[in-house]
A and B are shown apart, each in its own frame.
Chain A
Amino acid sequence: QSVLTQPPSVSAAPGQKVTISCSGSSSNIGNNYVSWYQQLPGTAPKLLIYDNNKRPSGIPDRFSGSKSGTSATLGITGLQTGDEADYYCGTWDSSLRVFGGGTKLTVL
């Protein structure tokens, strides 16, 4: 049972937009920055979003992040088949790192 709650799966057609939610509490998301990671099949996770809504160099602006209260959201626009992956949110909770259970994105 993960501390942060994500939907197990989401799906959308190529070119469409999808959002992935991440729900926590005041001790984690409510008082800390949120990061998002993309894990393509068979590879290590890759940072997509940090500090709630910042993108590392090289991450396209199709990926966006937001936070409100104890929840965060990852948005992906202009979906591509290459976006099919597992997505994880992460934050801190009393000096301990916590992750969501992951969301599998299927691009139909």
Chain B
Amino acid sequence: EVQLVESGGGLVKPGGSLRLSCAASGFTFSSYSMNWVRQAPGKGLEWVSSISSSSSYIYYADSVKGRFTISRDNAKNSLYLQMNSLRAEDTAVYYCARGRNSDYWGQGTLVTVSS
């Protein structure tokens, strides 16, 4: 069974940093690209970043470029999102999702940026 479990969310002050993790199981992690997608409270889905299976290709939404860094460790079946210079508008539930079609999603982890 495919499972994606996010962790690392929490309350952080504006300008602070947070590192999200996504633990994958039930599939060959190293064969799939991975994505981070976020959803602000009461709002729609917003793509954040994607990384190819071997980390050769990495893409970011303009809203996070230069502040967020996506990475993965295929040996540990894990996906990461390092978030720096956090702003109030980064407050959202962050989901990791598998592959080009985002066919499986984790349960999400809530990031709240507030003083």
Contact = CB atoms under 8 A, between A and B. Distances in A.
Do chains A and B stick together as partners? yes
B44 A97 contact: no
Contacts of A108: none
B31 to A, nearest CB: 17
Interface stretch (B18-26, B67-75, B83-91, B100-108): B100-108
Interface in B52-104: 57, 59, 61, 95, 97, 100-104
Given A44-B108, A47-B103, A51-B101, A101 B50 contact: no
Name the residue among B35, B44, B45, B100 with the largest chain A CB count within 10 angstroms. B45
Nearest to B103: A47
A44 B107 contact: yes
Contacts of A50: 101, 103
Interface string A80-106: 000000101010100111111110000
Interface residues of A, number: 24
- A interface, over-half SS: strand
Nearest to A45: B105
A46 B101 contact: no
A82 to B, nearest CB: 19
A88 B97 CA distance: 15
Given A96-B59, A97-B35, A97-B50, A47 B101 contact: yes
Contacts of A51: 101
29 contacts: A2-B44, A33-B101, A35-B101, A35-B102, A39-B45, A44-B95, A44-B105, A44-B106, A45-B37, A45-B97, A45-B102, A46-B105, A47-B102, A50-B101, A50-B103, A88-B44, A88-B45, A90-B45, A90-B47, A92-B100, A95-B57, A95-B59, A96-B59, A97-B37, A97-B50, A99-B45, A99-B47, A100-B44, A101-B44
The 4 closest A-B pairs by CB, nearest first: A97-B47, A102-B44, A50-B101, A44-B105
Interface of B: 35, 37, 44-47, 50, 57, 59, 61, 95, 97, 100-108
Given A37-B102, A95-B59, 5 more contacts: A35-B102, A44-B95, A50-B103, A97-B37, A100-B44
